């Protein structure tokens, strides 16, 4: 069975935080600072990844909110992966304190996402990628992930070719589909990661990132015994991540 690279799963979960009603019940059990008041809540979904998020206002400052959750989340059985990001069972929680408006009133956002299994994400794996009407596909690539959502698509591919070869293909190939290169990072040279941003018309954007994978983490989100070691295998592939979006024109 194919294994999914660690960064692919983690990036999907942290960028797209979506929800189900069962997940909402789980989120309600999370600790809140004394006096925190709910401002808004949101529900959305993308493929197998689901999340509920809530925004609260509080008299606490940003650092105070961060310190509160560093202690309370660990006490509640969560494991902190990095500042503000916690994992428990098959759930990912992100706590984001911020200042709202000119009144310097403290707000924070709680987003809880389920962590999909490799089987869930790789259900869209294809050695021969789906055909696309709006952009080219690198000819020597396999499709790892293909997710449609309202207003766009998220796709990842992988290939054994170098970043330089793949970037050159998309820089020239996208022009044939009517796209304009709006931004490029890095601007000169080819590094371990390159990001291209294309625009078409007044409604479409396509962000394509290219990164070089050197190791692969097996079973990062599978159920494991505490003393079981996670094996790293060497790979040498270019990962292509596509985020295509269409927004409606605003009628005046």
d(CA 126, CA 188): 33
Kindly state the average pLDDT of the residues 124-130: 85
- pLDDT tops 70 at residue 35: yes
Question: Is 108 inside any structural domain?
Answer: yes
Question: Is 119 inside any structural domain?
Answer: no
Q: What confidence score (pLDDT) does residue 240 get?
A: 93
Same-domain check for residues 102 and 171: no
SS3 state of residue 16: coil
Same-domain check for residues 136 and 242: yes
Nearest residue to 167 (alpha-carbon basis) of 149, 152, 145, 188: 188
Same-domain check for residues 136 and 227: yes
Read off φ and ψ for residue 22, nearest 5 degrees: -65, -40
End-to-end CA distance of the chain: 52
Question: Is 120 inside any structural domain?
Answer: no
Residue bearing the bigger pLDDT, 120 or 178: 178
Kindly state the average pLDDT of the residues 63-83: 91
Percent of the chain with pLDDT over 90: 34
Question: Is 185 inside any structural domain?
Answer: yes
Same-domain check for residues 97 and 184: no
Same-domain check for residues 185 and 105: no
SS3 state of residue 78: coil
Same-domain check for residues 136 and 89: no
d(CA 124, CA 3): 13
Same-domain check for residues 162 and 236: yes
d(CA 206, CA 136): 12
Q: Are strands 105-114 and 79-82 parallel, antiparallel or unpaired?
A: unpaired
d(CA 99, CA 200): 34
Question: Is 251 inside any structural domain?
Answer: no
Contact 75, 98 (CB under 8 A): no
Q: Where are the alpha helices (DSSP H) in 129-175?
A: 163-173
The boundaries of the domain holding residue 191 are: 125-246
Contact 147, 46 (CB under 8 A): yes
Contact 64, 73 (CB under 8 A): no
d(CA 113, CA 53): 9
Residue bearing the bigger pLDDT, 139 or 116: 139
Question: Is 65 inside any structural domain?
Answer: yes
Picking from 67, 82, 114, the residue at the C-terminal end of a domain is: 114
Q: What confidence score (pLDDT) does residue 53 get?
A: 82
Total number of domains in the chain: 2
Kindly state the average pLDDT of the residues 87-97: 87
198 Cβ contact list (under 8 Å, min separation 6): 174, 179, 180, 181, 182, 205, 206, 207, 208
Question: Is 41 inside any structural domain?
Answer: yes
Q: Could you tell me the pTM of the whole model?
A: 0.55
Question: Is 171 inside any structural domain?
Answer: yes
Kindly state the average pLDDT of the residues 124-151: 87
Picking from 90, 114, 138, the residue at the C-terminal end of a domain is: 114
Kindly state the average pLDDT of the residues 79-88: 88
Same-domain check for residues 152 and 68: no
Kindly state the average pLDDT of the residues 206-219: 68
Same-domain check for residues 106 and 136: no
- pLDDT tops 70 at residue 146: yes
Q: Predicted confidence band at 167 (pLDDT cuts at 50, 70, 90)?
A: very high
SS3 state of residue 65: helix
Contact 114, 6 (CB under 8 A): no
39 Cβ contact list (under 8 Å, min separation 6): 55, 56, 57, 107
Same-domain check for residues 172 and 239: yes
- pLDDT tops 70 at residue 30: yes
Q: What confidence score (pLDDT) does residue 22 get?
A: 39
Picking from 114, 145, 176, the residue at the C-terminal end of a domain is: 114
Q: Which residues pair with 184 in a beta bridge?
A: 196
Same-domain check for residues 61 and 80: yes
Nearest residue to 54 (alpha-carbon basis) of 78, 34, 38: 38
Contact 181, 174 (CB under 8 A): yes
Same-domain check for residues 72 and 175: no
Mean pLDDT of all residues in the chain? 76
């Amino acid at each position: 069975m194919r294994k999914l690279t660690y960064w692919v799963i983690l990036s999907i979960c942290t960028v797209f935080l979506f929800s189900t009603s069962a997940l909402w019940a789980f989120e309600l059990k999370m600790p809140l600072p004394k006096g925190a008041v709910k401002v808004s809540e949101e529900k959305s979904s993308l493929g197998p990844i689901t999340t509920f998020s809530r925004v609260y206002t509080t008299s606490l400052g940003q650092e105070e909110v961060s310190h509160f959750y560093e202690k309370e989340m660990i006490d509640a059985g969560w494991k902190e992966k990095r500042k503000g990001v916690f994992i428990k069972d098959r759930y990912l929680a992100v706590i984001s304190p911020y200042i709202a408006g000119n009144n310097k009133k403290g707000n924070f956002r709680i987003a809880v996402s389920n962590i999909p299994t490799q089987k869930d994400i790789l259900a869209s794996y294809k050695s021969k990628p789906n055909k696309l009407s709006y952009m080219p596909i690198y000819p020597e690539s396999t499709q790892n992930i293909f997710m449609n959502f309202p207003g766009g698509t998220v796709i990842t591919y992988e290939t054994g070719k170098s970043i330089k070869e793949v970037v050159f293909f998309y820089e020239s190939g996208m022009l044939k589909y009517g796209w304009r290169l709006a931004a490029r990072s890095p601007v000169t040279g080819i590094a371990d990661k390159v990001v291209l941003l294309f625009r078409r018309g007044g409604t479409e954007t396509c962000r394509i990132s290219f990164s070089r994978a050197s190791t692969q983490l097996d079973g990062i989100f599978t159920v494991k015994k505490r003393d079981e070691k996670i094996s790293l295998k060497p790979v040498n592939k270019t990962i292509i991540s596509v985020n295509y979006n269409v927004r409606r024109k605003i009628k005046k």
